[in-house]
Amino acid sequence: MDKSQEKSLFGLVKVKSLIAFAASVLFFLVLSWVYFYPNDIRGDVMQQHDIVQGAANGQEASVYYQQTGEVTRWTDAL
């Protein structure tokens, strides 16, 4: 093999490009871990607006059902 040619891994991927790819993947993994680490340790979770909004919208219907035992099809909250 000529010294001018780069070494290849299984004849498909050049070692230099493989090392560069692995380094970039490792960099982004570490960056993600550092960015999200404080929230993970504190146990913070992202609030899901649609879930919170749905629970709030159903609160009046839930109270009405508990008081009367009837299911309402209308709410003044919306």
Structure token digits, residue 65: 């059902």
**Residues 28, 6: Cα–Cα separation, whole Å:** 27
> How would residue 56 be classed by pLDDT, with cut points 50, 70 and 90?
confident
Whole-number Cα distances in Å, 66 to 4, 17, 26, 57, 63:
82, 66, 55, 16, 5
Residue ranges covered by each domain of the chain: 1-46, 51-78
Query: Which H or E run contains 9?
Result: strand 8-9
Global pTM reads 0.44
Q: What is the pLDDT of residues 13-38, one digit of tens each?
A: 787 888 999 999 999 999 999 888 87
